[in-house]
Structure formats: C-alpha cells, structure tokens
Structure 1
Amino acid sequence: MANTPPRFYALAWRWHFYAGLLVVPIMLMLALTGMVYLFKPQLDLAMYRPLLVVTPQGTPASADALLATVRAAYPGQTVRKYTPPTAADRSSSFTLAAAQGTQTVYVDPYRNMVLGAQDDERTLQHIAKKLHGKLLLGKTGDFIVEMAASWALVLVASGLYMWWPRGGGVWGTLLPRLRASKRLFWRDLHVVGGFWGVLLLAFMLLSGLPWSGVWGSQYAKVWSRFPAQMWDDVPKSDRTAASLNVGGQPTVAWAAEDTPLPKSGSHHHHEEAATPAPGASLVTLAQLEALARHIGLPASYGISLPGDESGVFTLSAFPNDPREEQTVHVDQYSGKVLAQVGWRDYGAVPKAVEMGVALHEGKFFGLANQLLMLFACLFVILLSVSGTVMWWQRRPRGRLGAPAPSRQMPAWKSGLAVFVLLAVAFPLVGVSILAVLLADWLLLRRVPVLKRALA
C-alpha cells in the first residue's frame, strides 16, 4: 500500500463488496445452469435416446415423404422447420407451431414413422437456458442477468486492483496459504484463485453479453452491418432473420440476426404458379437438400419453411465451428437463392462474437472445450462461496459489515470519469449506480436504522 493512496483502495473495496452482494446469487445460478447446458449433447442423448437414435435399415424415405407423415399425424399444425439427420443413426426432426410455443416431432427416416414429440418449453436444456439467460422472468429476468453480468466485470476490475502486489512475497499473492488461519485461508482462496482465473472469468462474462437485451441488442445494431448491395435486387419483407429463431435451438447465428428477410417471388412468379394456395410451395425439401449439398452446408443445418405466400425457405447452418455458419434464403416458387450470408461476410467484431459464443458454450473444440468451460463454472462457484464466507466471518452482528469509506474520497473528477466510462461501456451499470446514489441520498442518509444496518 506504500505506493498507492489508501483512499482509492478503500473505494475499490467498498464497491467490490456491494457489487458482490448483488452478483453472487445470480452468478451461482449462471454457473449451475451453465454446467447443465454445457453438456447438452451428452445429456440429450442420455435422456431422449429413443427419440434421437434410430437403426439404419435400407434407404431412408425422402424429406417430403417425412413431411407428409408429420402433417398427417399432426393435422392443423404448422410446420416451421425441418432438420435432416446429422448421422446415419440419427432421426429427422420437425419443429411445429403449438398452442403454447413450439414442439419438436422426431421421425425415423428409414421406417417413415413418428417416434414421438417434445414440448420445447419443457425440456431440461430449454429450462436451463431460460434460467441462465432470463431467470424464467422474460425481459425482466434478462435485465437482471445483464445487470449482474455487467457488475461482475466491475468485480473483476476492482478485485484485480485490490490483488495487485504492494510489497510482500509469493504467498497470499500467487499461492494460497492453505495452513493459515480460517480467515486467511478463505481470503487466499478468494484472492489468489481470483487472480489465476481472472482472464477466463472476464472472457465468460464478455462472451455472454451479446445475448443480453440492452447491451447485446445495441451492440448488434452497431457492429452487425452488411453491405446493402447484398440485397439490392431482392424484395425485402419487414422482418429480420431473427424471426426464424423458434424452438429450443437458434436457427440463425447472432451475426446474421439483424439482416433483412427477403420475400419470395413477384406477381410474375405467382401467375406462373397458377396462384398457389398458401403453403403450397413449388420447391421441395429434396431440392433444398440437394442445394445444401451443393453449397457444402455442414450436417447440422436446418430448413425453415415459409410462413405465408411471400415467405422464403431458409437453409441455416449453426454448427459447432462458427466458420461454417451459413444463412441462405431461397425463393419458395423458383428455388432461386435470394441472399446468402456466411462467415466470409462477417466483420471483425461479429466474427469475434461468434467465436466467443462457440467457446462460451463449449462447442468449438469438443470435449476439451466443455471441460475448460466446466472449470470456469466451478471457478465462479469457488469465488462466490469463498467471498460469501469471508463476508460472514467478518460481519458484525446486526449489521451488513460493508467496508468503511475513506475519509479522503477521490477527487470528484476521478469519480465522475469512472462513472461515465462504466455508463458508456455498460448502460445498466450506469443506471444502477444512479439508482444506488439516489437511494443513498433519499433513504440511507436520512433513516438512521437503515444507515446503521447497511454500514
């Protein structure tokens, strides 16, 4: 501390403490649900094997025959998406619009037989994902999770500042003192562990923010730009590609969500088609599968069906390797490719985001990626638990035990600069700081009971 003004350390400690109280419960929830979603492929196969695995026998039925079987089994329901088998022993699936959300119907392609259906809202992975992203509270939950993730970055920065060596040796800085007193043991577990995992934690937080409602949507609008001439000669609808994301899995990548969704055909096409009825597309699923093979889409692609007479077929690949991502819109009457967006079209920031998402979900380099992210989740639990124990050990009875503010607070210009920087980088941090300062001015300073309890 000799070379660092104590007033800055006291301020960092106080904000670190309050941020921790806000963040710890949500970070624990994010870590636990993240571990569930991280191992989605293995858990899905273990839990839903009768729906996912089939026995290869003979020649599989065509995709159009499978579609006819599904429509016969579920009359009156709209088929939204078809996903071909990803391997010879895997089933085909169709996403149907249900009364509440969507359901996925699985079909044995060899016997052309429906294996069963799942309500997409009730699967373990969907519930874990909804908890992870929105706390099952919709936009309110999304707001809370984003605010917690933003404040967790404040925790990372303030924690690193407080860890920074100011004299002393390796023990307690780079290595924990495991045989020390209980308070030193938990302190070192938190501080030293936090140092060694700080980069991984920061990556997890930053790579998760693109999914958020405020920061993520604004970020997407700024960076997910594509040359306008890509759609120069294509009739565009008033919808974006994000509207195709239905069911438990996203259909189009984050980088392509904000792109315009084209429209099928012109009046000329409709006249040639003898005014087809809604949904009576002239292009077959078999033709679209042939197009996918020609383009070279990976096995995990899906085909979104047109929603009305002006809708398009969309072939979309959202594989483990983001460099293979493709979104291809096809006229439902002529089979003409209207627009195609892939990795080569992304800018530097969308590429970084897509790569970060793949790493965040443990998909990019297989089991090793899953295990690395599992370690990150366990690391979050370690920091949350050790920080809570540290607080409980030093907490005065009947009081919150917040670190005392320095009598010599930093100059107002420094504080204002930090506030503006945080507010610009993470809007919800700025909003919450204003809310805290307002509550402090209106209540905490004026109500002695609250002032004593929160001190």
Structure 2
Amino acid sequence: MNPSIPSFYNQAWRWHFYAGLFVIPFLLMLSLTGMVYLFKPQLDRLMYAELLLVPRGEQLLSADRQLAVVRQAHPQASVSKYLPPVDGEHSAQFVIAEGERQLNLFVDPYRGTLLGSQDAENNLQAIARALHGTLLAGTVGDRLIELAAGWGIVLVISGLYLWWPRGQGGAGVLWPRLSARGRLFWRDLHAVTGFWGALLLLFMLLTGMTWTGLWGEQFAAVWNRFPAQMWNAVPKSDLQARSLNSASQQTVAWAAENTPLPTSDPHAAHQGHTQAASGPVSAQIGLQQVVDLARAENVQPGYSVSLPKGAEGVYTVALFADDPRADATLHVDQYSGKLLADLRWQDYGLVAKSVEMGVVLHEGKFFGLANQLLMLAVCLMILLSSLSGLVLWWQRRPQGSLGVPPLRHDLPLWKGAVVLMLLLGLALPLVGASLLLIWTLDWLVLSRFAPAQRVLGS
C-alpha cells in the first residue's frame, strides 16, 4: 500500500463496510415490503374478494344514497373519503374515523348494502406501505429510511468502484464462476448481482428518496413548482395537499403534494342564490354533485373524493393513476360547487413528470404485470446481493473481531472515489451529517482506545 495514501481513505474503506452493515437490514425490509405492495391488486382480489366485488346491477345508487347507508350504520363516525366504484363489478368504499380507529367500509353501489369493513391501518397492504415508508415510527422512521436509502446510494456507487473489472475478464463480474466454492462463490454472487443490478437499484433508491420527509420535501420545493396564477384567484389555507396523504395510504400524486389547499367560502352563493342578510350560507353540496363534476371534467375512474374538514375545507378529487398522464387533483368549494383548482399532467414541470413516471415504475404500475415482474426481479436481486454481502463480510472479517476486511492494495483512482463520496455527502444531507458524526467518533474515540480498535478492526 502506498504510504502516501492518507488515513482518510482507510477510514472510507471501513465506513463502506460499516455502512453496509447498517443498510442491509433496511434493504431486506424494503425489498420484502415492496414485494407485498407490488402485488397489491392481485393480493387484494385474493384476500378481500367478498368486499371488493359485487354482482352487476341495473342502476347505481347515487353517492349520497351510499353515504346515507354508511352514516346509518355508523352514526357517530366522521367520513373522510369516498372511492366510487372503478367499474360495474366493484364496490364503493368509504373511509371513516370511529373513535381511535380508521375503517374502510365497502358498500354495494347497486343494492345499498354494507358488505363489510376493514381496519384502514391494520391490514396487510397498509402495514407493508407504512413499514416501507416510516417503519411504523413516524418522523423518526422516515428519517431512518432516508438515511438508509442515502447510504444505499453511496454503497452502490462505491461498490461499482470496488468491483469494477480490472483486466481479469468477465468471469466473476459479468457472470459467476459456477465451479467456485466457499468465499469465491459468495464473492462472485455478490459482484455479479451488484454489477447487473446497480442501475436498477439506484433507480429504486432515487425514486424512493423523492417520498422522504426531509430530502424529498426539499427536492419538491425546488423542482416541483407551478405558475403562481394558478392559485391567485382562490383563497388558500395554510395546509398543503400532502396533508391528505398518510403513511398507509397515498391520495394525491407526488407532483401535487406541495400545492396549497384552497378554502371554501361559507359566504359564497349557493345553488345560484345570493347570501341572505341573516348570515352565511352553510349547506354543503351533495357528494353526488362532486362525482358528477369529476365525470364532467374527464377524471378517469379510480379517483377518490376527500370530504371537507371544517367550515372552510374543500372537496378534493384526486387520482394517483397507474399511468401518471391521467393524474388529476381537483379542489371544489363545499358550498357553491365551484371548481377552485384543477391540476393535471400537462401542468407538471419536466422534473415532476420524470419523478411521477419513476414512481409508478417503482411501484410496478405503469405497464401491468411485466412492470410488476421486473420490480420483483429487482427486489430479489437486492435480497441476494444483501445476503451475499453479509456472508462475504462475515467470512472475510478479521479473526475474532467485527471489523472490516483488510484494505485492498489494487484500488486505482482512489482520490476520485473519495471526492465522489464527499459530493454525495453534500447532496444527501443525512448521509453527510452521519459521515461527519462517524468521522468524529472514529477520530475522538475509536482511534484512541485499543479495545475498540481490536473489536472493530480499526
């Protein structure tokens, strides 16, 4: 090893392995929960057919009649959302809050019967999605996921550098040596899987990062902008459309998340009549009127209607479509029925369009089963690469310690690799902050105590 190579590179080598040990459990969890969410349509149909499917009838009941069925069965509950039937063979769905619980209620839209209920936050898909996004731990979980995804990006790039072919041909890099055994077998498995899966894994990590609470929100604030005149003519609340989303359920598309929620005007004209001198008009328009408006505005089936919260809340018609070109976010005054805002694909900027397309590819929605199978293959590659990396580290670790394998002596362009790592630390704030923290601990603590050095292989 060239003695001129600074000790920082020795630290960077160790950090690569320590970061891998930190990231691997998250990658395993993200892959497993991602596979569950990938096949949501098939799993829902298999598990909840009696709630989702209905015999086709002659005449659909109005949304208001369906709402009356729900309110009669749950008079103390507050209704937050309505999902009209996506076609003639599916039920309608309402989301209600009853005490501390949120329930999904399924209604036969032809016969007006309540088919059953489902805990909105305690079912397979809701749990998988919440684990995938926040570890069921709110903001702390979101930050941990963001940190792991950021370090995952660092590991992919540094892994490509570490394993890039250096004149030994394609064996062990482009294809595994099938006759290999022991450590060489695991090395080939890790290297080949990582080589072919690197770009796909980067795609998954980067598209996932756009949903995170810190980096993702800052990214959206910079790139996800709309002309100011779209909102000049309507009163705006202090809330953004992202408030309609939750860890377990996506309502509005990413591109619409940081747009303001308009407010309804209790003093506005209602059904063509001017406000009386005695006070404001307070009667809401019917839910069916909102459904009719969505149809008139050519919103495709599959949308939801979020009901107003409070006297100034609005109805929000939102379609987070499998094909983002059909995305729609409409806000409707709850008293006058006036369309206050209408946000579609053509209003998105280039970055927002790219992110939306990336997100639906990430979720396996864009081109049907083939998209699902491709993303399944990526998840399996992540599992294989993670597990083989863990085995490889265990086999190569210094005897009797939890440290890192010996530093290689054939690493070219190491200065460029370190610079790239620092740039990634700047681009990903949580990664950069953790890098500084680890460096500080390494310098102040680990490098000064022999027992810690022996255990960690420093």
- Partner in structure 2 of residue 432 of structure 1: 434
Q: Within 1, Cα distance between the matches of 2:441 and 2:7?
A: 23
Partner in structure 2 of residue 208 of structure 1: 208
Does the Cα contact within 8 Å between 2:268 and 2:281 map onto a contact in 1? Answer: no
Tell me the CA shift for residue 297 of structure 1.
0.9
Equivalent residue for 2:164? 164
Shift of 1:416: 7.7
Tell me which moved more, 143-152 or 7-16. Answer: 7-16
Contact 1:31 1:378 in 2 (8 A): yes
Secondary structure of 1:211's counterpart equals coil
2:350 matched to which residue of 1? 348
Comparing 174-183 with 95-104, greater Cα deviation is found at 95-104
SS of aligned partner of 2:433: helix
SS at match of 2:210: helix
Give 1:73's aligned residue. 73
Deviation at residue 247 of structure 1 after TM alignment? 8.2
Q: Find the counterpart in structure 1 of residue 292 from structure 2.
A: 290
Distance 1:184 1:12 in 2: 24
Equivalence map 1:301-316=2 (5 Å) = 301-316=303-318
Deviation at 1:285, TM superposition (A): 2.2
In structure 2, do the counterparts of structure 1 residues 360 and 414 end up closer, same or farther at CA, with 3 Å as the change threshold?
closer
TM-score where L is the length of structure 2? 0.92
Match of 2:322 in 1: 320
**CA distance in structure 1 between the aligned counterparts of 2:397 and 2:243, rounded to whole angstroms:** 50
User: For 1:90-129, what aligned pairs fall within 5 Å after superposition?
Assistant: 90-100=90-100, 102-129=102-129
Q: Following TM superposition, by how much is the alpha carbon of 1:7 offset from its aligned partner in structure 2, in angstroms?
A: 9.4
Given residue 185 of structure 1, which amino acid in structure 2 is its aligned partner? F
Give a deviation string over 1:401-451, Cα, whole Å, max 9, x none. Answer: 313458999999978844541232111110111111111122212221111
The question of whether the paired residues in 2 share the 8 Å contact of 1:53 and 1:90 is answered with yes
Residue 455 of structure 2 corresponds to which residue in structure 1?
453
Within the alignment, does 1:181 sit opposite 2:181 as a pair?
yes
Identify the range of structure 1 (439-448 vs 120-129) with the bigger mean alpha-carbon deviation: 439-448
Alignment-derived partner of residue 385 in structure 1? 387
Which residue number in structure 2 is paired with residue 140 of structure 1?
140
- Between 1:23-32 and 1:132-141, the stretch displaced more is 132-141
Is this contact kept in 2: 1:69–1:112, CA < 8 A? yes
- How far residue 330 of structure 1 moved from its aligned partner, in angstroms, is 1.1
| Cα gap change, 1:435 to 1:199, in 2 (>3 Å) | same
Letter paired with 1:251 = T
Matched-pair contact (CA < 8 Å) for 2:158–2:417? no
After superposition, what is the alpha-carbon deviation per residue over 1:21-53, rounded to whole angstroms, capped at 9, x for unaligned? 111111111111111111111111111111111
Tell me, yes or no, if the aligned pair for 1:7 and 1:410 is still in contact at 8 Å: no
Amino acid in the other structure paired with 2:430: L
Deviation at 1:6, TM superposition (A): 12
What secondary structure, in the 3-state scheme, does the structure 1 residue paired with 2:342 have?
A: strand
Q: Which residue of 2 aligns with 1:252?
A: 252
1:57 paired with 2:72, answer no
Q: 2:269 aligns to what SS in structure 1? A: helix
Match of 1:423 in 2: 425
Larger mean CA deviation between 263-272 and 128-137 belongs to 263-272
TM superposition shift of 1:213: 1.4
Note closer, same or farther for the CA distance 1:195–1:295 as it changes in structure 2 (3 Å cut). Answer: same
TM-score w.r.t. length of structure 1: 0.92
Q: Does 1:358 align with 2:360?
A: yes
Contact residue 10 and residue 404 of structure 1 kept, 8 A: no
Give the direction of change, closer, same or farther, for the CA distance of 1:8–1:195 in structure 2 (3 Å limit).
Answer: farther
* Deviation (angstroms), 1:245: 2.3
SS in 1 for 2:175: coil
8 A Cα contact 2:268 2:335, kept in partner: no
Rounded Cα–Cα distance in structure 2 between residues aligned with 1:236 and 1:427: 31
Partner AA of 1:362 in structure 2: G
Aligned length: 451
Moved more, 410-419 or 335-344: 410-419
Is 17-26 or 404-413 further displaced after alignment? Answer: 404-413
Cα gap change, 1:67 to 1:277, in 2 (>3 Å)? farther
CA-based RMSD of the aligned residues comes to 2.7
Identity, in percent, stands at: 56
Instruction: Say if 2:316 and 2:330, in contact at 8 Å, map to a contact too.
Output: yes
| 1:269 maps to amino acid | A
What's the CA shift for 1:11?
6.7
Residues 146 and 430 in structure 2, CA contact (< 8 A), matched pair in contact too: yes
Aligned to 1:232: 232
Q: 1:184 to 1:407 in 2, by over 3 A?
A: closer
